[in-house]
Amino acid sequence: MISIIVSVYNEEQGLRAFYTETTKWLAQLSEPYGIWFVNDGSTDKSSEVLSELLEQDREHVRVITFSRNFGHEAAMTAGLDYADGDILIFMDADLQHPPALIPEIVMKMQEGYDVISMVRTRNETAGLIKNITSGAFYRLINHMSDIHLEPAASDFFAIDRKAAMVLRKNYRETVRFLRGYVQNIGFRKTTIDYEAAPRTAGESHYSLRKLWRFSMDTIICFSNLPLKLGIYAGLFSALLGVLLIIYTLFTRGGAPSGYATIIIVLCFMFAMLFVVVGVIGEYISVIFNELKDRPIYIISDIEGTAHEEET
């Protein structure tokens, strides 16, 4: 059984094309399959389109509807939790992840791989700035943490039941990065290259502000290094102090040098202090969130599956 997991947020224009294209490739395989659409609180006509698809293909379409928008990570997590396949394939609804690769993914999984990361060779839609900053970001995070994140890996990946069980049970953080976990749970893994197509319809939901938030969360998720910033800053100021003592002694305790110096040093020190406090604040806010242990998502409806009666 193959489960395709698709997060949907305001994708009314592209959904039908996604369904047709995916079904075309899935139907060629002899395996049974299900397409799990996770409607992440869409405010457009996505839910109507999903109901139509459900009506049209009861055998294969399943729809999980959230009570509101919880974000892409939450949508993928709900798919992970409910999908019942032996092979789970995560995809975006905008056809940027080519369904034509499904047969190859399934073939590799049947060869015995447990985890397949799909690696983007070219992203035409992302601009130059986005490409440069994302490259720098991945270098930074790989440097800072003891895990390895593939820079060009995407939210297009496949896992088998074994890997899915681990992710379902043991990776329940509320500040989450599924793609990162997938690459670091081990098992037999491989990659497949693909060329990201431009979005079929609609536009990207990731603004620069969201990307910044996302980068911060990822660093906090995977690295403790920023927390040690305080120690280094402290050692650095201590060293500075010692140098200043030596300098003062050598100038024989002469008149203290300029007001400007004092102000500059003061500003510099305070800046360092506040950055460190800010970093600690970020971690505390994550700890606070985890402690509250609020649900990652809230489901209002599940259709097209045996779970239907439960809700």
Give the interface with ligand UDP as residue ranges (CB under 6 A). Answer: 7-9, 11, 40, 69, 71-72, 75, 92-94, 96, 204-206
- Looking at beta carbons only, is 178 or 279 nearer to ligand UDP? 178
Residue indicated by tokens 């980068």: 215
Q: What, of ligand UDP, Mg ion, none, does residue 93 touch, CB below 5 to 8 Å by kind?
A: ligand UDP
Type of residue found at 187: F
Task: Give the torsion sign (CA, 83, 85, 89, 94).
Answer: negative
Type of residue found at 288: F
To the nearest whole angstrom, how small is the minimum distance from the Cβ of residue 58 to ligand UDP? 23
What is the C-alpha to C-alpha distance for residues 142 and 127, in angstroms, rounded to an integer? 23
152-182 burial, b for 16+ CB within 10 Å, e for fewer?
Answer: bbbbbbbbbeebbebbeeebeeebbbbbbbb
Q: What, of ligand UDP, Mg ion, none, does residue 11 touch, CB below 5 to 8 Å by kind?
A: ligand UDP
To the nearest whole angstrom, how small is the minimum distance from the Cβ of residue 210 to ligand UDP? 9
Are 109 and 26 in contact by the 8 Å Cβ rule? The answer is no
To the nearest whole angstrom, how small is the minimum distance from the Cβ of residue 181 to ligand UDP? 17
- Looking at beta carbons only, is 180 or 226 nearer to ligand UDP? 180
- Asked if 94 interacts with Mg ion (CB under 5 A), we say yes
DSSP state at residue 87? E
Alpha-carbon distances, residue 163 vs 115, 152, 171, 178, 240 (angstroms): 7, 21, 11, 12, 51
- Asked if 40 interacts with Mg ion (CB under 5 A), we say no
- Asked if 145 interacts with Mg ion (CB under 5 A), we say no
Position among 96, 117, 218, 223 found at the interface with Mg ion (CB under 5 A): 96
Binding site for Mg ion (CB under 5 A): 92, 94, 96
